[in-house]
């Protein structure tokens, strides 16, 4: 049933007024915009003219021709603009950063309407993203095909008539309007893509058509596109780096056994970052993107134009992946540090695990689907020669979520062998390496070869994660212009948004982390493969000289990744889980989130544009103001945890209860946003601009949730583990920025210009963190080591036997004492060694008991308590050498902020730092003449801080993204005026990606990427 909303009433009223209006209106000038832009030079000329004629600081990109945009991806086109840089996912442009502000702080509009955003980024090539939640306001440009776009405008300065929400910029995407094109045309295109990281050649088909009747009173524009892409990557990942202060008197804190050799030891008290594991992986991805747009326009009179449009986009991704890995048992007998004077990192270290530790293989099947639906109506009416009134209404919905088997985003099935005996690591290489001596004497067939008989199930996990965003909006706008030197714009708008985020995680312990059952994987479900053999850019032969130092002496090591056990995670789940009493599609829940944020925004604006002279120079002054009132409501369904169970040495599981608490909070705020733009023509070719504006950006959705989420400690609390908690704050105010811009632009040819600009943004209400240490939900701590508890007794028993309190032995002894029926001898039945520990891991866990102290959580909550200044310079130069056909486009952006990340700061204290700040540069060499067009494009972005605190755990590690360079090539030839073929080579030099923490040696993620070649043909008629 259709329920009338504020939007439906507004549309009904506007239609009544607009349909009746033509009978009373006076004739108005014909508003037909003739667009004739062809080729690279024509596109750049059109973009240059948009910049020149705009008020404020505006950059633009125009289509080279109908159905042909400068790049194959909208984000990759945007990165050619000064001040704009992009984030890539699997080597493809996804989100944009403008002047240091990431996607959450930029507003994306489609034909002037705010677009909803939904993006559960669980399939990125990085296995650490598999648990991602959808909390973003950032629009994913990879969901839209570039062929359906006629142009993009980037508004870097605030403007009263432009919706709020973009501190960095407001980016408007324009699509075809049939009555504005001037002629009936159509274009069809076909592409064949070869992504060297994937399999085979995949197709892309697109078509765009524009038609209007002879009187130009009725027109239709349609666009459709289908793209398939097979891709993949090779990657290395580390789950976490634990942070400590070096203490040579307490080697056990760092996992060093008695008598261990330490080379290049840190200074006393110096910060030390210890990796927890090492993984090498492959992912194979398939994407299908479908786009459709239709626009209808009807002009019943010369004074009224009615427009209705619909947009649909879907992006479906399937991925399979394997990650080979080892965890470090923290029994290190030798360790060499890198000598970093601020944050020391072990780069070479060795440990001997008697009996063998788990050597795991994480098999993944993932599926996701992003979808966008938008329906709009617009009426443009000239009430008389001087007054233009416009009404616009839109309903849009974006969704992102699981599309894999059982409706999940991720199904993960870990198989492993308890065979990692002696192992050595080298983190000083470009790609960290590990070499392992296989010990299958305790669990396996004892043949000294790592084979399927040594492998069993560990744990299986399934994650559902969804985000939906709904937008309903309408606007009344008007322009009064009597042809003098003053023009007035005014308007009223209302927008209602609702974002819902749901995440559900389930998990089942099968053979457990200790791999209790080896050799029981049904035949045919696993293949023996070689993950490392797929890597192309790094030497994957393991640690140099490992065999010469291996223990026992004379042993032969196996490089990590050289022997892999790969299978389909869903097939494994369906075959193995029932044997352990689990239903494959309904595993026990371990985490649940359900959050909704509603925002209702009322806006009013007025803006005056005045032409005149200053000191004899032509000048244009724009003065405006925008008022907005925002009502926020945040609703969360809180799942209440019952206990945190200690599963093994450093593994925990949060056990949820059956109850849910409904929590809600409301907040309102108002904003007054002025803008002043002054441009002066110092000569016919030289223009100066000065601008001031106030803009705002709303807090991230997850910062406004009312629920409290918890995270288990990364290790026992007695050994320094810290449990984490976080809660949102619905009372957050928006970020407010005072923006100043100065620029000088010299236009010295039809397609040539040079510009230099300075900008500054003084931002208040940045969201910082307030932190308290407190118990939550009455949860108890089974790992405290406090006197009178089982864990305290376990410590006493270990110390009485002269044993160090390691994670492994601490858990094993506690589990013995907690299960007297199984171990009637208590501590006397303890046997030191990995084999005995694994048997305990597989069969027993430790639950909190009465008498255990309450578990203390480090609970963070966002608050508006920070201010910062971002400033920088933008240089751009576009030049064509007469009619030679040669030209270039170059720009360079400097971004600077007054608050950076202190890598040597105390890790127990939350920091505030500006994310996304980095310099960037572009150089495009162009040749276009007599039908031949060639472009060589180079893009560079410097390293930048992506996250102040990585979301993977409670450890306060930042995430930096290394500098990135990409070289692209495009060659096209017009065989006739209507038929063109082109060749694109993207990422010609096969640049990869790297992410790191407090030190460059704290490598979290490395990804090898390959080039893509696209052969295209386009026919226009």
Within 10 Å of residue 570's Cβ, how many Cβ atoms? 19
The answer to whether the beta carbons of residues 715 and 784 sit under 8 Å apart is no
CA distance 155 to 171: 6
**What pLDDT shows up at residue 67?**
66
Nearest to 360 by CA among 415, 410, 411, 321: 415
CA angle, 920 as apex, 916 and 921 as ends, to 5°?
165
- The token duo for 415 is 């198989």
Q: What is the pLDDT of residues 643-666, one digit of tens each?
A: 999 999 888 999 988 878 889 999
- DSSP for 613-656, please give it: EETTEEEEEEEEEEEEEEEEEEEEEEEEEEEEEEEETTEEEEEE
Token pair in block for residue 577: 């889980």
Write down all domains in the chain, each with its CATH number in brackets: 6-415+461-490+502-509+587-735+744-764+858-1020 (2.40.170.20)
pLDDT reported for residue 996: 96
Tens-place pLDDT, residues 280-308: 999 999 999 999 999 999 999 999 999 99
Q: Is the dihedral of CA 518, 522, 523, 527 positive or negative?
A: negative
Q: Work out whether the CA dihedral 164, 165, 168, 173 comes out positive or negative.
A: negative
Q: Which distant-in-sequence residues (6+ apart) come within 8 Å of 401 by Cβ?
A: 120, 134, 368, 369, 409, 464, 465, 466, 467, 468
Q: Spell out, as residue ranges, where the chain has pLDDT lower than 50.
A: 1-37
The answer to whether 593 touches 345, Cβ cutoff 8 Å, is no
680, two tokens: 């002066």
Find where tokens 């990942």 sit: 237
What tens digit of pLDDT does each residue of 560-575 get?
999 999 999 999 999 9
Q: What is the DSSP letter of 68?
A: B
pLDDT computed for residue 953 by the predictor: 59
Q: What percent of the chain has pLDDT over 90?
A: 70
In tens, the pLDDT along 1-42 reads: 334 444 444 444 444 433 333 333 333 333 333 334 458 888
Angle formed by the axes of helices 790-800 and 807-818, to 10°?
120
The pLDDT score that the predictor gives to residue 714 is 85
pLDDT of residue 546: 95
């Amino acid at each position: 049933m259709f329920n009338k909303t504020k939007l439906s009433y507004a549309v009904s009223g506007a239609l009544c007024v607009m349909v009746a209006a033509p009978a009373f209106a006076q004739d108005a000038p014909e508003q037909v915009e003739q667009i004739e832009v062809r080729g690279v030079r024509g596109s750049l000329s059109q973009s240059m003219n948009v910049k020149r004629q705009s008020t404020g600081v505006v950059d633009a990109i125009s289509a080279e021709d109908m159905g042909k945009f400068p790049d194959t991806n909208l984000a990759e086109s945007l990165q050619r603009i000064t001040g704009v840089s992009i984030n890539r996912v699997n080597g493809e442009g996804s989100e944009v950063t403008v002047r240091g502000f990431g996607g959450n702080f930029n507003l994306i509009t489609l034909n002037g309407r705010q677009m909803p955003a939904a993006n559960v980024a669980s399939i990125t090539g990085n296995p650490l993203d598999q648990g991602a939640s959808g909390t973003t306001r950032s629009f994913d440009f990879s969901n839209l095909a570039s062929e359906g776009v006629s142009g993009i405008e980037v508004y870097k300065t605030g403007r009263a008539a432009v919706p709020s929400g973009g501190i960095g910029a407001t980016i408007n995407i324009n699509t075809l309007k049939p009555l504005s094109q001037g002629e009936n045309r159509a274009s069809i295109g076909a592409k064949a893509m070869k992504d060297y990281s994937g399999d085979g050649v995949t197709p892309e088909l697109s078509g765009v058509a524009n038609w209007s009747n002879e009187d130009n009173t009725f027109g239709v524009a349609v666009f459709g596109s289908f793209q398939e892409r097979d891709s993949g990557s090779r990657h290395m990942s580390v789950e976490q780096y634990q942070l400590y202060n070096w203490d040579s008197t307490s080697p056990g804190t760092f996992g060093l056994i008695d008598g261990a050799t330490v080379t290049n030891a840190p200074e006393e008290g110096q910060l030390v970052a210890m990796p927890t594991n090492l993984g090498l992986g492959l992912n194979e991805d398939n994407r299908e993107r479908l786009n459709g747009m239709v626009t209808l326009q009807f002009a019943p009179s010369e004074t009224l134009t009615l427009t209705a449009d619909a947009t649909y986009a879907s992006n479906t991704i399937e991925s399979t992946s394997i990650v080979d890995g080892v965890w470090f048992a923290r029994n290190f007998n030798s360790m060499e540090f890198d000598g970093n004077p601020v944050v020391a990192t072990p780069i070479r270290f060795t440990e001997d695990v008697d009996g063998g530790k788990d050597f795991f293989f994480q098999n993944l099947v993932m599926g996701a689907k992003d979808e966008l639906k938008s329906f709009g109506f617009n009426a443009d009416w000239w009430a008389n020669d001087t007054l233009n009134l416009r009404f616009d209404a839109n309903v849009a919905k974006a969704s992102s979520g699981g599309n894999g088997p059982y409706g999940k985003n991720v199904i993960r099935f870990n198989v492993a062998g308890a065979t990692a005996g002696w192992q050595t690591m080298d983190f000083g290489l470009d790609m960290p390496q590990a070499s392992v001596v296989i010990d299958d004497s305790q669990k396996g067939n004892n043949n000294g070869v790592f084979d399927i008989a040594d492998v069993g199930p560990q744990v299986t996990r399934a994650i559902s994660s969804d985000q939906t965003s709904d937008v309903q909006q309408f606007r009344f706008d008007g322009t009064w212009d009597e042809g003098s030197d003053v023009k007035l714009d005014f308007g009223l708008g209302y927008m209602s948004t609702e974002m819902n985020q749901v995440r559900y995680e389930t998990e089942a312990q099968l053979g457990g982390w200790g791999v209790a059952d080896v050799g029981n994987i049904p035949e045919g479900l696993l293949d023996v493969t070689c993950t490392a053999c797929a890597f192309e850019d790094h030497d994957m032969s393991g640690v140099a000289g490992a065999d010469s130092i291996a223990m026992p002496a004379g042993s032969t090591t196996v490089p990590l990744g050289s022997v892999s056990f790969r299978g389909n995670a869903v097939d494994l789940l369906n075959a193995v889980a029932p044997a352990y009493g689990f239903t494959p599609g309904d595993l026990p829940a371990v985490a649940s989130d359900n959050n909704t944020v509603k925002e209702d925004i009322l806006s009013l604006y007025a803006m005056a544009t005045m032409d005149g002279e200053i000191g004899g120079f032509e000048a244009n002054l724009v003065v405006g103001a925008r008022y907005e009132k925002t009502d926020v409501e945040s609703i969360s369904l809180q799942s209440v945890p019952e206990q945190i169970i200690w599963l093994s040495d450093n593994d925990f599981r949060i056990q949820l209860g059956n109850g849910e608490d409904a929590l809600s909070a409301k907040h309102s705020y108002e904003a007054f946003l002025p803008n002043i733009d002054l441009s002066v023509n110092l000569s016919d070719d030289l223009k100066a601009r000065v601008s001031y504006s106030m803009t705002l950006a709303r807090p991230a959705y997850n910062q406004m949730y009312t629920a409290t989420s918890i995270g288990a400690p990364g290790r026992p609390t007695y050994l320094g583990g810290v449990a984490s908690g976080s809660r949102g704050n619905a009372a957050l105010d928006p970020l407010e920025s005072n923006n100043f811009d100065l620029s000088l632009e010299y236009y010295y040819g039809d397609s040539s210009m040079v510009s230099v600009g300075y900008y500054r943004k003084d931002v208040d209400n940045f969201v910082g963190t307030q932190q308290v240490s407190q118990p939550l939900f009455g949860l108890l701590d089974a790992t405290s080591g406090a006197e009178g508890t089982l864990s305290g007794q376990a410590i006493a028993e270990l110390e009485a036997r002269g044993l160090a309190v390691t994670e492994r032995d601490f858990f094993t002894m506690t589990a013995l004492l907690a299960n007297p029926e199984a171990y009637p001898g208590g501590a006397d039945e303890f046997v030191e060694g990995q084999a005995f520990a694994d048997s305990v891991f597989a069969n027993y866990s430790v639950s909190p008991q009465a008498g255990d102290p309450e578990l203390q959580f480090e609970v963070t909550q966002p608050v508006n308590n920070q201010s910062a200044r971002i400033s920088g310079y933008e240089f751009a130069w576009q030049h064509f050498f007469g009619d030679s056909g040669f030209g270039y486009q170059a720009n360079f952006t400097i971004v600077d902020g007054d608050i950076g990340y202190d890598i040597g700061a105390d890790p127990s204290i939350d920091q505030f730092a500006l994310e996304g700040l980095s310099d960037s540069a572009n150089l495009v060499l162009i040749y276009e003449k007599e039908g031949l067009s060639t472009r060589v494009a180079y893009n560079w972005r410097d390293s930048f801080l992506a996250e102040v605190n990585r979301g993977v755990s409670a450890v306060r590690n930042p995430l930096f993204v290394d500098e990135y360079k990409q070289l692209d090539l495009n060659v096209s030839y017009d065989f006739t005026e209507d038929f063109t073929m082109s060749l694109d080579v993207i990422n010609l030099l096969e640049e990869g990606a790297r992410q790191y923490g407090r030190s460059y040696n704290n490598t979290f993620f490395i990804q090898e990427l390959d080039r893509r070649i696209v052969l295209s043909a386009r026919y226009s008629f």
